[in-house]
């Protein structure tokens, strides 16, 4: 990566990925626990220098200075190349070096991940270092923005914060968590997506299908055409082939992650939407247990049955049962089928002109290989509250059922679950056409009530991976840490945002997905948030520069949607606030119309069934009037009444239709049980080391387990013949390949 090579890549690259800082931030050494500790051990220092002395070529090898000073990662030139000398053997192409044209942090790391020889994407530590850096920088940026927008919180003393935590006052944490939603992949991010999903279901009605698409990354032939272009796998024995496939997956998470998300996008666009007449959708990518990815989602189908009166109409229940009986299947086409692990059906390359509808052998092999839940493990076993014994949380095995039916669960609740006929105790719910086209494990289940989404399936689909500690415990640990004491509330807030972004397990494939800025979640509808909190009604809102596949970056502020509504053009005089928000948005100094009706999420979200003379009744009445009536000022909306409840009562008497109830649950985190702590990865231990805090014996740089396993000399010799900038790079071709 010489200077000409680097300049050419910047001129040709038009890809925009995750958000990055636009200004240089100067922070003290205690505001980031992930700052690289510069106290490199002497044995590693001698090893690196010896390797460099052996491989000096044309005086291009840079002398690496070793120092005990804390590194400023925002200004220090060469700190990345010095941290990874075996990846940057000539000391060039550092993030902070001078260039003719500015390169953003995310563009820099994306380019390195896509570098032609693949060594940076394959390195087990560099990808985590890159994501760690980008995430911390974004958290610091958001912390600065938060303090600027909430100056009173920035003036709090550490003692005041400690008193708030001790008394259980969570208002500060709620405000910070709302800010943290801008960091992709965090609990706050996924909690916001969950609330958007629930708002979507409330507004559009229940979806028709809940689906899951899993990855068969040990089988798909198209994937191994990329990982093994020379087809070496075909020359190996079955056992050797399996080991080699595992090695290829572990060493190439970027390729695997790219392939999976591309397969999902193409499958959804070219097959699901057309084959099933999808009119609306919502889905998300997920990685669990540091492993392969899968997708959870919902589909609203054009011919889907109307289920709003399912509890009162017997004829409707029969029609719904018939509809889903043709859509959802739990039958095994051949219960006597004998699986052949040497000829896995997911490894079959299907021709475009193949007629899978008549291929009964293919269907039977897929069902028996990937759709039977025959083994329960830690992933699905749970302790029953009644029997105190381990049971499968997916409720396997099921009973044999000769005829499909709708079951009311719980009794007298008017909530019905579709149970399809089955001849096999262990077959997962699926759709034959989807299974044979996707060619990996799937789930394809009927959705019959809104409650089934909001109370269970939605939380399952939009959950964040488990966190090691909750927000309050994290903040308490930060302000009480004697090794890295917080000097003020600003420092505590920034460190809390950093901790929030790093407190969960993350797989190598997810790291690559996040670094490259690919979609984590997709929906057919835009979401508009109306904050009707009295203190926030006229507050300015951050203006985010949105780009494909990322969560944007701050680009100043906008006046609130409510303020724009009050000053709307005369043509919209008779539009209520909620109808305006569904139809129109303001951009480029003019009102524009949504192609499809937007989903409106109202804040604050009020709790459940609110009745007159309760504590929240006045707030409820105020919210409904502001949403559903037409006015030019708050005073005009109140119509001279002393209270909002009086105004609401009068409007209810004088209008034909009751003002719609658009309230939902309060926007707060729900309690979750903490999972058992797992051993930290090596990179996690390094990232958690504080500046000026000596490393423990088991994490000494140079003597850690992965340092001892690495062969630095051979790695450097392998790179010696192929210098970074030697070959002319075709960036456009590279961009197309990724």
Is the pLDDT at 299 greater than 90? The verdict is yes
Report CA-CA distances (Å) from 99 to 25, 77, 93, 190, 430: 19, 12, 10, 37, 54
- The tokens describing 722, both together, are 């192929």
Quote the pLDDT of residue 378: 73
Of 556, 503, 559, nearest to 674 (Cα)? 503
Mean predicted confidence (pLDDT) in 286-301: 87
Averaged pLDDT of the chain: 78
Quote the pLDDT of residue 173: 80
Is the pLDDT at 388 greater than 70? The verdict is yes
Contact status, residue 554 vs residue 542, Cβ threshold 8 Å: yes
- pLDDT tens-digit map of 23-44: 333 333 333 333 333 333 445 5
Quote the pLDDT of residue 641: 93
Of 516, 518, 503, nearest to 465 (Cα)? 503
Which has more pLDDT, 597 or 413?
A: 597
Of 162, 1, 8, 54, nearest to 730 (Cα)? 8
Quote the pLDDT of residue 596: 95
Query: What is the spatial distance between Cα 407 and Cα 333, in angstroms, rounded to a whole number?
Result: 25
Quote the pLDDT of residue 552: 56
Quote the pLDDT of residue 419: 93
Quote the pLDDT of residue 445: 94
Mean predicted confidence (pLDDT) in 313-339: 92
Which has more pLDDT, 77 or 546?
A: 77
Contact status, residue 658 vs residue 598, Cβ threshold 8 Å: no
The total number of residues written for the chain in this structure: 738
Is the pLDDT at 722 greater than 50? The verdict is no
Quote the pLDDT of residue 644: 94
Dihedral sign computed on CA atoms, order 120, 126, 127, 131 = negative
Mean predicted confidence (pLDDT) in 454-481: 67
Quote the pLDDT of residue 593: 96
In SS3 terms, 644-676 reads as HHHHHHHHHHHCCCCCCCCCCCCCCCCCCCCCC
Contact status, residue 429 vs residue 396, Cβ threshold 8 Å: no
pLDDT band for 16, please (50, 70, 90 cuts): very low
- The tokens describing 471, both together, are 């927000």
Q: What 8-state DSSP symbol labels residue 12?
A: H
DSSP, collapsed to helix, strand or coil, labels residue 416 as: strand
- pLDDT tens-digit map of 121-169: 999 899 999 999 999 998 888 888 888 878 888 888 888 888 888 887 7
pLDDT band for 436, please (50, 70, 90 cuts): very high
Containing H/E element for 586?
A: strand 584-587
Region of poorest pLDDT, from 381-390, 653-662, 673-682: 673-682
Is the pLDDT at 402 greater than 90? The verdict is yes
Quote the pLDDT of residue 48: 59
pLDDT band for 566, please (50, 70, 90 cuts): very high
Report CA-CA distances (Å) from 421 to 326, 436, 447, 480: 11, 20, 16, 58
Quote the pLDDT of residue 151: 86
Contact status, residue 511 vs residue 287, Cβ threshold 8 Å: no
Contact status, residue 1 vs residue 115, Cβ threshold 8 Å: yes
Contact status, residue 106 vs residue 18, Cβ threshold 8 Å: yes
Transcribe 273-314 into DSSP letters: HHHTTEEEEEEEEEE-TT--EEEEEEEEETTPPP-TTTTT-H
Max CA distance (Å), the chain? 90
Query: What is the spatial distance between Cα 662 and Cα 246, in angstroms, rounded to a whole number?
Result: 50
Transcribe 121-174 into DSSP letters: HH-TTHHHHHHHHHHHHHHHHHHHHHHHH-HHHHT--HHHHHHHHHHT--HHHH
Which has more pLDDT, 630 or 546?
A: 630
Quote the pLDDT of residue 44: 52
Mean predicted confidence (pLDDT) in 295-317: 90
Region of poorest pLDDT, from 119-133, 382-396, 536-550, 612-626: 536-550
- pLDDT tens-digit map of 485-516: 888 888 888 888 888 777 677 889 999 999 99
Region of poorest pLDDT, from 60-69, 300-309, 656-665: 656-665
Q: What 8-state DSSP symbol labels residue 343?
A: G
pTM of the model: 0.78
Question: Does 410 sit behind a cis peptide bond, omega within 30 degrees of 0 on the bond before it?
Answer: yes
Quote the pLDDT of residue 312: 82
Quote the pLDDT of residue 304: 93
Query: What is the spatial distance between Cα 454 and Cα 458, in angstroms, rounded to a whole number?
Result: 5
pLDDT band for 539, please (50, 70, 90 cuts): confident
What angle (nearest 5°) sits at the alpha carbon of residue 54, between those of residues 50 and 58?
125
- pLDDT tens-digit map of 228-268: 999 999 999 999 999 999 999 999 999 999 999 999 999 99
* Phi–psi pair at 599, nearest 5 degrees: -90, 130
Quote the pLDDT of residue 397: 84
Quote the pLDDT of residue 11: 37
- pLDDT tens-digit map of 622-674: 999 999 999 999 999 999 999 999 999 998 887 654 454 544 333 333 333 33
Mean predicted confidence (pLDDT) in 45-50: 62
Quote the pLDDT of residue 457: 65
Of 143, 212, 230, nearest to 179 (Cα)? 143
In SS3 terms, 181-215 reads as CCCCCCHHHHHHHHHHHHHHHHHHCCCCEEEEEEC
Is the pLDDT at 66 greater than 70? The verdict is no
Q: Report the range out of 53-67, 355-369, 676-690 with the highest average pLDDT.
A: 355-369
Quote the pLDDT of residue 162: 86
- The tokens describing 379, both together, are 């992933």
Of 730, 549, 719, nearest to 118 (Cα)? 719
Quote the pLDDT of residue 341: 75
């Amino acid at each position: 990566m010489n200077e000409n090579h680097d300049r050419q890549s910047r001129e040709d690259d038009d890809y925009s990925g995750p958000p990055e800082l636009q200004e240089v931030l100067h922070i003290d050494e205690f505001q980031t626990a992930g700052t690289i500790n510069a106290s490199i051990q002497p044995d590693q220092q001698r090893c690196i220098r010896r390797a460099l002395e052996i491989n000096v070529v044309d005086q291009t090898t840079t002398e690496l200075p070793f120092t005990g000073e804390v590194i400023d990662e925002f200004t220090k030139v060469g700190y990345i190349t010095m941290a990874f000398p075996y990846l940057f053997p000539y000391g060039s192409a550092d993030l902070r070096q001078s260039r003719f044209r500015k390169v953003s942090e995310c563009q820099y790391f994306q380019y390195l991940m896509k570098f032609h020889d693949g060594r940076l994407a394959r390195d087990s530590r560099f990808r985590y270092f890159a994501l760690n850096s980008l995430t911390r920088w974004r958290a610091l940026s958001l912390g600065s923005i938060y303090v600027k927008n909430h100056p009173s919180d920035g003036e709090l003393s550490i003692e005041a914060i400690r008193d708030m935590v001790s008394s259980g006052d969570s208002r500060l944490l709620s405000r910070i968590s709302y800010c943290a939603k801008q960091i992709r992949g965090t609990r706050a991010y996924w909690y916001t997506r969950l609330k958007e999903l629930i708002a979507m279901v409330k507004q559009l009605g229940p979806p028709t299908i809940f689906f899951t698409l899993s990855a068969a990354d040990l089988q798909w032939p198209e994937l191994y055409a990329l990982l093994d272009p020379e087809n070496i796998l075909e020359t190996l024995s079955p056992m050797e082939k399996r080991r080699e496939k595992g090695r290829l997956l572990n060493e190439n998470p970027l390729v695997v992650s790219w392939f999976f998300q591309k397969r999902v996008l193409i499958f959804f666009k070219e097959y699901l939407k057309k084959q099933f007449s999808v009119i609306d959708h919502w889905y998300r990518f997920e990685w669990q247990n540091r492993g392969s990815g899968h997708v959870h989602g919902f589909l609203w189908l054009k011919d889907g049955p109307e289920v709003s009166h399912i509890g009162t109409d017997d004829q409707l229940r029969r029609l719904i049962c018939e509809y889903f009986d043709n859509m959802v299947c739990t039958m095994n086409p051949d219960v006597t089928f004998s699986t052949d692990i040497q000829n896995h059906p997911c490894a079959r390359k299907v021709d475009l002109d193949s007629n899978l509808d008549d291929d009964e052998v293919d269907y039977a092999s897929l069902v028996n290989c990937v759709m039977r839940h025959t083994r329960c493990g830690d992933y699905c076993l749970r302790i029953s509250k009644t029997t105190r014994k381990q049971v499968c949380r997916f409720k396997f095995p099921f009973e044999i059922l000769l005829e499909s039916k709708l079951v009311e669960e719980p009794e007298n609740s008017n909530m019905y679950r579709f149970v399809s006929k089955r001849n096999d105790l262990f077959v997962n719910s699926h759709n034959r056409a989807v299974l044979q086209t996707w060619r990996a494990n799937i789930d394809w289940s009927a959705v019959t009530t809104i409650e089934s989404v909001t109370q269970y399936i939605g939380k399952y689909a939009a959950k964040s991976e488990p966190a090691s500690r909750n927000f309050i415990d994290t903040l308490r640990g930060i302000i009480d840490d004697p090794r890295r004491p917080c000097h003020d509330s600003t420092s505590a807030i920034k460190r809390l945002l950093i901790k929030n972004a790093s407190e969960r397990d993350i797989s190598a494939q997810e790291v690559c997905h996040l670094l490259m800025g690919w979609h984590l979640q997709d929906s057919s509808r835009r979401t508009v948030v109306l904050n009707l909190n009295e203190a926030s009604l006229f507050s300015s809102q951050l203006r985010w520069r949105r780009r494909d596949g990322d969560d944007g970056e701050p680009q100043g502020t906008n006046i609130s949607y409510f303020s724009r509504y009050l000053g709307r053009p005369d043509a919209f005089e008779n539009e209520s606030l909620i109808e305006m928000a569904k139809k129109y948005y303001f951009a480029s100094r003019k009102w524009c119309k949504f192609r499809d009706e937007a989903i409106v999420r109202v804040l604050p979200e009020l709790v459940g069934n609110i009745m007159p003379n309760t504590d929240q009744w006045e707030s409820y009445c105020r919210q409904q009037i502001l949403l559903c009536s037409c006015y030019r000022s708050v005073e005009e909306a109140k119509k001279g009444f002393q209270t909002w409840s009086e105004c609401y009562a009068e409007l209810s008497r004088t209008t034909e239709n009751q003002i719609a109830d658009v309230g939902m649950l309060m926007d707060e985190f729900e309690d979750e049980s903490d999972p058992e702590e797992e051993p930290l990865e090596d990179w996690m231990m390094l990232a958690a080391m504080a500046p000026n805090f000596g490393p423990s014996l088991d994490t000494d740089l140079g003597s850690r387990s992965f340092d001892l396993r690495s062969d630095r000399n051979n790695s450097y010799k392998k790179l010696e013949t192929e210098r970074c900038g030697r070959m002319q790079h075709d960036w456009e071709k590279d961009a197309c390949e990724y």
